[in-house]
């Protein structure tokens, strides 16, 4: 296993500031992998006959490195013999509202309906309510100290991010407990629903009670909203540039710089139901780039200097990366990241058709990178893949 440059112990600098992060790029990551395969000195092979391309190396990557597998095949062919892309998000999308669609399809449908109602009601209050209405709504979740509505919308949507971390062999009891509480059957519920998961205000009240009693206490201090406040430029979240920071600065750099974007939003087209509020926009995330990565001399991040998702997709091929050689695509049916993979329902022309020469498999009922863990074989579709 090779650690990606800029992450973990592979960061070459004590501080991950804007100037130092310039060396973390897709181009350099591809060069790293090619260099390793060709030039690594293996202790059991004095004449390097085991190096690529003399021996057939297979590049296996999952999630972002799943996309890297595909991009190496396109941009630096001739070193690796074959490629395995698991849950590879190959299409950069600025307004990535599509993230939540597989979640909607995979989650219990009564819970889905409840979240769609919650989001609709929150949108109405944030969009058309008085300051008093908005204050009351935030207070329901014990988030009245959050000044900005987009921060509030993001905070109450954060529990849904746990969906991709569960799988066929993973206990998703926490997600189920959340749904049960919203639907009137959990310990945090204080009102019941009518049949079919309807009831608008009831599900909002139930969710707020669950959030306060079951989710919110996980944060460090009672009543603290610091972890949700993305507009505070002095937050340690932005100001901690050390290599062991907890804000995942290398990933944020790649989102802002390449730019991958990949920001899950609620900005679905009008008429399309969403399980998160529409106040979560791509601009909400883009403004964080400036706070994470302030200019240093002549150094800034790519999207601040005009780089776009269209340019990146033109370089990598994005959804149109179809002329491949010995590249295996595998995705999970209910993986949020399937929406930006070649198996996306939003890909022009539909999901890439699987062929013996270019297999593109979708594991029924599976989520993110499930083919990377043998224990997920409890799902026959994962075992078959």
Residue pair 376/370 in contact by the 8 Å Cβ criterion: yes
User: How far apart, in whole angstroms, are the C-alpha atoms of residue 92 and residue 317?
Assistant: 10
Question: 334 and 291: one domain?
Answer: no
The residue with tokens 């299409």 is: 91
Sequence-distant (6+) residues with CB within 8 A of 257 are 21, 24, 25, 293, 301, 302, 303, 307
Question: 253 and 357: one domain?
Answer: no
Residue pair 83/326 in contact by the 8 Å Cβ criterion: yes
- Residue 224: the pLDDT is 80
- 1, part of any domain: no
Q: Measuring CA to CA, which residue among 109, 132, 133 is closest to residue 123? A: 133
- 79, part of any domain: yes
- Decide: residue 336, CB within 10 A, 0-12 exposed, 13-18 middle, 19+ buried: buried
- Residue 221: the pLDDT is 66
- 120, part of any domain: yes
Question: 41 and 110: one domain?
Answer: no
Three-class SS state of 329: strand
Question: 132 and 270: one domain?
Answer: yes
CATH of the domain at 344: 3.40.50.1820
Question: 292 and 154: one domain?
Answer: yes
- 321, part of any domain: yes
Three-class SS state of 307: coil
Q: State the residue range of the domain holding 69.
A: 8-93+312-384
Task: Choose the final residue of a domain: 287, 305, 323.
Answer: 305
- 2, part of any domain: no
- Residue 198: the pLDDT is 46
- Residue 199: the pLDDT is 47
- Residue 219: the pLDDT is 61
User: How far apart, in whole angstroms, are the C-alpha atoms of residue 5 and residue 29?
Assistant: 7
Question: 350 and 250: one domain?
Answer: no
* Helices and strands: H and E segment counts in the chain: 13, 4
Task: Choose the final residue of a domain: 262, 286, 305.
Answer: 305
- 329, part of any domain: yes
- Residue 349: the pLDDT is 97
Question: 80 and 219: one domain?
Answer: no
Per-residue pLDDT of the chain (385 residues; tens, 9 = 90+): 899 999 988 899 999 999 999 999 999 999 999 999 999 999 999 999 999 999 999 999 999 999 999 999 999 999 999 999 999 999 999 999 999 999 999 999 999 999 999 999 999 999 999 999 999 999 999 999 999 999 999 999 999 999 998 888 887 888 999 999 999 876 555 444 333 444 444 899 999 999 999 988 666 566 688 889 999 999 999 999 999 998 999 999 999 999 999 999 999 999 999 999 999 999 999 999 999 999 999 999 999 999 999 999 999 999 999 999 999 999 999 999 999 999 999 999 999 999 999 999 999 999 999 999 989 989 989 999 8
Question: 88 and 109: one domain?
Answer: no
How many separate domains does the chain show? 2
- Residue 61: the pLDDT is 98
Active-site amino acid positions: 63, 335
3-state helix, strand, coil in the chain (%, to 5): 45, 10, 45
User: How far apart, in whole angstroms, are the C-alpha atoms of residue 109 and residue 115?
Assistant: 10
Two tokens, residue 7? 């992450």
Question: 232 and 365: one domain?
Answer: no
- 190, part of any domain: yes
User: How far apart, in whole angstroms, are the C-alpha atoms of residue 313 and residue 317?
Assistant: 5
- Residue 200: the pLDDT is 44
The residue with tokens 């009564």 is: 110
Query: φ and ψ at 129, to 5 degrees?
Result: -80, 165
Sequence-distant (6+) residues with CB within 8 A of 247 are 237, 238, 240, 292
Q: At what angle do helices 109-128 and 173-182 cross, to 10 degrees?
A: 60
Task: Choose the final residue of a domain: 262, 277, 305.
Answer: 305
- 138, part of any domain: yes
Neighbours of 122 (CB within 10 A): 26
- Residue 192: the pLDDT is 42
Question: 152 and 290: one domain?
Answer: yes
Question: 135 and 74: one domain?
Answer: no
Question: 266 and 298: one domain?
Answer: yes
């Amino acid at each position: 296993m090779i650690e990606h440059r800029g992450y973990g112990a592979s960061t070459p600098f004590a501080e991950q500031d804007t100037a130092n992060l310039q060396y973390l790029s897709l181009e350099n990551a591809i060069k790293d992998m090619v260099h390793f395969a060709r030039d690594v000195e293996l202790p059991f092979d004095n004449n390097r006959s085991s190096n690529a391309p003399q021996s057939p190396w297979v590049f296996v990557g999952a999630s972002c490195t799943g996309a890297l597998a595909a991009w190496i095949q396109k941009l630096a062919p001739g070193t690796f013999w074959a490629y395995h892309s698991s849950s590879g998000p190959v299409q950069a999308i600025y307004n990535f509202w599509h993230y939540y669609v597989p979640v909607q399809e995979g989650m219990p449908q009564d819970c889905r309906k409840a979240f769609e109602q919650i989001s609709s009601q929150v949108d109405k209050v944030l969009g058309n309510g008085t300051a008093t209405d908005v204050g009351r709504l935030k207070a329901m979740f014990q988030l009245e100290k959050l000044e900005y509505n987009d921060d509030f919308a993001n905070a109450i949507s954060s529990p849904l991010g746990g969906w991709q971390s569960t799988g066929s062999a993973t206990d998703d009891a926490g997600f189920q407990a959340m749904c049960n509480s919203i639907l009137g059957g959990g310990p945090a519920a204080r009102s019941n629903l009518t049949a079919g998961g309807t009831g608008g205000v009831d599900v909002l009240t139930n969710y707020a009670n669950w959030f306060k009693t079951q989710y919110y206490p996980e944060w460090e201090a009672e009543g603290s909203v610091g972890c949700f406040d993305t507009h505070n430029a002095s937050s340690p979240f932005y100001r901690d540039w050390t290599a062991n920071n907890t804000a995942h600065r290398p990933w944020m750099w790649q989102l802002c710089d390449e730019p991958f974007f990949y920001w899950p939003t609620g900005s679905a087209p009008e008429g399309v139901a969403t399980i998160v509020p529409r106040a979560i926009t791509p601009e909400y995330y883009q403004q964080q780039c400036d706070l994470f990565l302030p200019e240093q001399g002549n150094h800034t991040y790519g999207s601040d200097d005009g780089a776009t998702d269209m340019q990146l997709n033109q370089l990598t091929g994005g959804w149109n990366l179809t002329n491949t050689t010995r590249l295996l695509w595998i995705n999970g049916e209910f993986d949020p990241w399937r929406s930006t993979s070649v198996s996306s329902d939003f890909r022009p022309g539909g999901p890439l058709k699987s062929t013996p020469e270019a297999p593109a498999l979708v594991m029924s009922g599976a989520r993110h990178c499930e083919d990377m863990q043998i224990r997920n074989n409890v799902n026959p579709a994962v075992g078959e893949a």
